[in-house]
Structure formats: C-alpha cells, structure tokens
C-alpha cells in the first residue's frame, strides 16, 4: 500500500528557474523521494515541472519528485542541521533529556577521550565545567557522514581544544563518532602565523 512519510525541515527558499519555493517537509510517497512545498512567489512562470499560471496558496501543499542528486543534497543538508542542533543542545544548553532525541541509544564511540556509548558522552559533559562551550566554524556532509571543525572552550584546561568531529547519521540519529583533537595554538606557537579557529588567536 502506498503511504506518505514525512520529515520536518526548517523553512527554506529554493529557486527553480524563475520560481521561488518555500519548503517545509521532505519525505516519501510509495518509496519515491518527494519535496513538499507550500508556496511560490512568481504568479506566472515556467520551470522543469511544467508551466504554472497561478500561485499556490499558502494553505495548500503540493509535492514534486526529487532526482537522486536532489535527494542526496536534501539529506546532507538535513544531517548537517541535525548535528549542529544536537551539539548545541548537549554542549551549550546542557539539556540531556532533549539530547537523547538526537543520539542513538546504540551510539558507537571511537574517541580515546570519551567512555563508550551515549551515556559515556553525556557523563563527560555532566562532569565538564559550567563554562563549557562549543563553536562551529565549518561543517561538511557526504552521504550519511557529517564532519565538523569546531572549538571547545571552558573545558578546564589551560588551552581550548580544536576538534574535527566525524559523525555517522542513521535513521535521523547520531549513530557513530570519531574525532581528532589539537590544542589551540597561540600566535607565538603558530608556525603558520594563522589562527587554528576563526580569524583571531586566543591570545
């Protein structure tokens, strides 16, 4: 039986030729990936889904099939948003109940600094100083993997950590993690003469 499944997504604008859409949902109908739209700005336009002569009212919804490339792009964008929200929820807001909705109960941990599983990560954050803060500078996604370049400050050490985190996302949850950690260099210690994070040295 054909049925709909939907994932919520932040409202974003998508330009297709002369037509500007605002989408709300990404999902499947009968196994076909679809993008669900609720608005477009141009009252008369022609685009790759055929001619349109009237605006779609806000209270209506329509769905367009996605190509394999478009589906991958949408999934990667959602995965990046998911990981950023997860990191902010756990490391900055310290909301452990909400964080459970982002991390898989079967979370696999490869970091040498963190005990196994989701609880190992949560206990690390619980034990961290209240000044703990995560900042992100760069995030990229490929397939089910998301890589972040960020800074952890307020960690109770003389210097901040600059970390490359790699997450595998499965069924909308953070399922597996690797990291590479470096101490943030001062201007005097940097042979390149450039900061490791952002455009300023910590000193």
pLDDT value at residue 124:
97
Beta bridge partners of 116: none
pLDDT value at residue 50:
43
Q: Is 86 helix (H, G, I), strand (E, B) or coil?
A: helix
> In which residue ranges of the chain is CATH 3.10.450.50 found?
74-183
CATH-assigned architecture of domain 74-183: Roll (3.10)
Q: Quote the pTM value.
A: 0.67
At 86-103, the pLDDT tens digits run 999 999 999 999 999 999
Long-range contacts of 83-86 (CB under 8 A, 24+ apart): 83/139, 83/146, 83/148, 83/167, 83/169, 83/174, 84/136, 84/139, 84/148, 86/174
């Amino acid at each position: 039986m054909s049925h709909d499944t939907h994932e919520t997504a932040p409202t974003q604008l998508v330009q297709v030729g002369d037509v500007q859409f605002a989408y709300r949902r990404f999902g499947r109908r009968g196994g076909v990936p679809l993008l669900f739209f609720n608005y477009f700005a141009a009252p008369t336009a022609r685009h790759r889904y055929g001619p349109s002569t009237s605006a779609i009212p806000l209270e209506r919804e329509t769905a367009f099939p996605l190509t394999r490339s478009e589906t991958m792009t949408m999934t990667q964008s959602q995965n990046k948003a998911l990981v950023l929200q997860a990191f902010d929820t756990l490391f900055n807001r310290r909301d452990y109940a909400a964080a459970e909705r982002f991390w898989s109960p079967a979370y696999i941990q490869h970091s040498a600094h963190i005990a196994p599983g989701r609880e190992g990560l949560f206990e690390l954050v619980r034990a961290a100083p209240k000044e703990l803060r995560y900042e992100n500078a760069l995030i990229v996604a490929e397939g089910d993997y998301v890589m972040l370049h960020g800074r952890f400050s307020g960690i109770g050490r003389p210097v901040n950590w600059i970390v490359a985190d790699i997450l595998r996302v499965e069924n909308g949850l953070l399922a597996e993690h690797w990291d590479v950690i470096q101490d943030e260099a001062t201007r005097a210690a940097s042979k390149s003469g450039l900061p490791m994070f952002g455009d300023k040295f910590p000193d």
